[in-house]
Structure 1
Amino acid sequence: MVMATRSPSHTSGRVMALGTTHQERYRFATWPIKCSSAPVANHLSPFLQEWAARLLLERSLSIKSPTIAYQLTGSKKVQQVLASPRVLERFLSSAQADDLRVVFAGLYPLDASSTGRAALEAALREPHKFVLKPQREGGGNNVYGEDIRKVLEGLGERERSKFILMDLIRSPPFRGYMVREGQLIDAQVVSELGIFGIFLGSGPTVLLNETGGHLLRTKSHESNEGGVAAGFAVIDSPLLV
């Protein structure tokens, strides 16, 4: 069994040790973290222990991949807030903010604000124009079409505010071929190109911030979801022309 502990000479927990015994300990530099995107009952004791462990990691000197702050920036709610008027200007020039907004889909809150109430009314009136998104990752969590109306009508104001509403992106389909479980599938498909980013920082200091490759996913245009691991899409290769 491998255990991680605080170094006894550093009671603040800023230096972490890894080893199989108390005599064989090694400091480690990086924590890859793939959790905290699923809802948990935070009032239950086991989950309080998990958050205490996460707090210990965040306070350590090791590199967190990602830090909790960086993880939050990718959440649906933060994406929606960044799309709100005059928010991008806190971080970018007006010209840069305008350039970014050109490629934004419409993102709306579902809280008690006037914008949230207007979004709720629009979603109930024309649900086929939107995607209802919870604060989840990994595919299979979004709500589409008439199901949006059913979900929203069953939620109270507090529960509804945990979701955001996004304009449905309607990409033009094209004929393509996918291979899944050894079978060739000839279908009308759509693709989604994602760009990987590499970021390393220390407090307010940015040490590295650059692109690091891409991922092209292709799926049937009839499928709402697009996750590869969830079985909705396949990994593809772009053809540059």
Structure 2
Amino acid sequence: MSTELEVDVEYDEIVASHSTLIKGEKVVYIDRGKGKNKLLIGLATLMNKGVYAGVKSYYRDYPGDVLCLVDPDNTYYLRNDRGMHVRSVIREVVKDYKPENVVFCGASMAGFAAIDLALFFNANAVVNNPQVSLELTYDTAWPKLKDVIDEIEQKYNIDDFSFKSRNSVIGAVFGQHPMDAVNRDALFKLCSKTPGVGLIFGNAFDFEHKYYYQGLNGFLKMVDMVFAHRELMGGIHVKFPRV
């Protein structure tokens, strides 16, 4: 039986073997050597303390390539430049993949970044109780989260943006906590005004701000559904092209 120490050593070994520096940012990039097919981008959530979320599980059980980032200052990956640096780092990797084969993944704070980046790169997202509007989040958040949002120098609401069109597919699960309910509605608003976007939606009957995917298998099922939905929507977009 593995001890907790051995598990930690395994994490350290994976990170050490697959870490790379891109534009001054230390990331974990796992290239399976299968021709740049599917790419999962894992974003660590609030109070991550520099720990790459899901690295061990992705390394063991996700068959595609993996890129993992952290945001130890809890800026919703916006840093001090409205996310420009993080985008430039990710661009160096995603340029080798088709947008339809890229999925950003994150919960809560990282869910905000996953949706934001997916739309920017016309890729996809799998999220759990994501924030979409930081303004609405602030109005319904607990005090410590309000403090986090107060510290972000240059912030914005994703649902304030207008995209002419996107092919992105977003898989999202929300609970009934007031903060999650207002962000659920903000995501609906965002999708309804963005032609071409696909949405797979789950509405959990729970009133806490929690993570709902049942282990890695449940999470990967949503990833598979998002890719399948993207393929379906691609056929629809071909039949009804943009004018």
Q: TM-score scaled by structure 2?
A: 0.27
More strand by share: 1
Greater RCO, CA 8 A, separation 6+: 2
Q: TM-score scaled by structure 1?
A: 0.28
Flag the structure with larger Rg.
1
More helix by share: 2
